[in-house]
Structure 1
């Protein structure tokens, strides 16, 4: 019979939780509470693998308490494909990210140059979701979009024949970011 893994001491957990809370506040300041909760739980499981089973229970409850809307949510890449079909011209994910910035629906996250966050206007068209990489230990947030964002995007691309091919810096300018990679949804 395998020996049971011993949970960390209360003091170790208090120290870890305090550090994780600080980091979560720094990274996710304005992001919805369920996303922060899921991040905190995943971070605790990474710091203390022996808590993984307990954390799994917690994240399952978080997911149940904050169900996704029945409508399919789309990534920027999926939006680019749909817009390309609608407009009969190639629209890239970078162009969609630029348009979403120009429309005032998203901006770059101030603490993470490779990720996006919704603006107040963008909350009508998208959601910020917690995500974890399947290939490495990265976890964070990802913006996904409701189908209804296609209408303002279609109008935008119809009105802008000179759409830039590079993502903007999230401050409503058309200057490309100095070659910095963008996290494409």
Structure 2
């Protein structure tokens, strides 16, 4: 059996190594298990005692193995019916504030918020000689990611409404060219009646209602004009749509004329300047 002095020296060296692991973000329970494994490796005579200690710690503080980013990507893809790659999962976890990237060491680490949903464990690659700290995730993060991607997919869809064509004239302009302004006016009145109960509008919703074709840049430009018109009339910026990563103004129905004016400013700049 090793002497007390030998054990003390070994523990001191192991503690120093453990400090590096702690700085790397390794889970505390995993660090304790590492200490016992190291001690048993240095002195096989203590292996039985180390295994007993590890079993006691494991029973009191079980470690959930966790899910890899690749496994998360498969789960999210299956639930959404849309391909989500592992690198997009990593970016989402960064945007959610759950992990950070150390480019120099090419490693991920958990933030304080991320520790609620993830764990850092020691891992060794089966494909190469890499060995180090790996972030794995609890199943609790799945619902968070699903909400994140659903919101972003909805936002992406709203920004690419009929984006195949960059511009198209307003219904009023078509009506004047085709000599059918009366029928168009009746159509607009019917549309106003159908949507009289709608309390708020986004630029994308109003463009879709007018059956226009647009691209994301046009939507941003229209919102910029509408925000300025709104500020000019009401002395304040319009309210924002909650739950969106990108700023999206949400205009009340009484300000719909401002929204239409901004749309016409972008689609028919000549007509607007003449008026």
Assess, with a 3 A threshold, how the Cα gap between structure 1 residues 13 and 59 changes in structure 2: closer, same or farther. same
Q: How many residues align?
A: 151
Say whether 1:53 aligns with 2:48.
yes
CA distance in 1, matches of 2:94, 2:5: 44
Matches within 5 A, 1:161-180: none
Give the Å deviation of 1:155. 3.6
Alignment of 1:33-44 (within 5 A): 33-44=28-39
The structure whose residues are more often strand, as a share, is: 1
RMSD: 3.2
Change (3 A) 1:76 1:35: same
Q: Deviations over 1:130-173 (max 9, x none)?
A: 45659699876543323231233234334176xxxxxxxxxxxx
More helix by share: 2
Q: 2:142 maps to what in 1? A: 150
8 Å Cα contact 1:39/1:140 also seen in 2: no
> Which moved further from structure 2: 140-149 or 96-105?
140-149
Give the corresponding residue for 1:85. Answer: 78
Matched, 1:74 2:81: no
Q: Could you say what secondary structure the match of 2:62 adopts?
A: coil
Gaps of 5+ in 2: 157-275
TM-score normalised by length of structure 1: 0.65
Structure having the higher Rg: 2
Partner of 1:176: none
* More relative contact order, 1 or 2 (CA 8 Å, 6+ apart): 1
Structure 2 length normalisation: TM-score? Answer: 0.46
CA shift for structure 1 position 12: 1.7
